[in-house]
Amino acid sequence: MFNRNEIGNPAIKPTRDHYAYTELEEFHPDGGMWSVPAPSDREHFIEASAALMVNANAFADAMRRALVEWPKSTAVALSNPSMNHRAWLGHAGCYLATGSPEEITRLGWHTLDEGEQWAANEAASRVITEWRNARKTINDRQLEMWTDA
């Protein structure tokens, strides 16, 4: 029924006792953007996160702040192909700008109409592209065929 050593000896100490990336990422203090706010604060955070996401320029600035203040967390999240990069960066930006945790930011997202969601997604895509372009080295860039570069 079981294979590939799925059942092991529970008395043996694990070979890896910590995961450095979770200790180094910046979003963790006090629960970070996954904290659970008091019930009385939920409506305030829903409104604050929605108001931020509606203003595409302010939202983009908040996401850029996340890139600067949380470089390790950003690198982990935006280099993971299985994550929704726009959502993670939007949650991080909303948390830093308004204090709204991830769960409440999602509720704020659902108060936006389709056009507002589209504009917020475009702002996130722009900031992600900026981040990716800033990380490229000369070896990553496609050189022109007939230039002196």
For residue 80, the model assigns a pLDDT of 82
Q: What are 50-57's contacts with CB under 8 Å, separation 24+?
A: 50/108, 50/109, 50/111, 50/112, 52/93, 52/94, 52/97, 52/98, 53/90, 53/94, 53/108, 53/109, 53/112, 53/116, 53/120, 54/112, 54/116, 54/119, 54/120, 56/119, 56/120, 56/122, 56/123, 57/123
Q: Each residue of 95-126: pLDDT tens digit?
A: 999 999 999 999 999 999 999 999 999 999 99
pTM of the model: 0.77
Give the pLDDT confidence of 31-54 residue by residue, as tens digits: 778 888 999 999 999 999 999 999
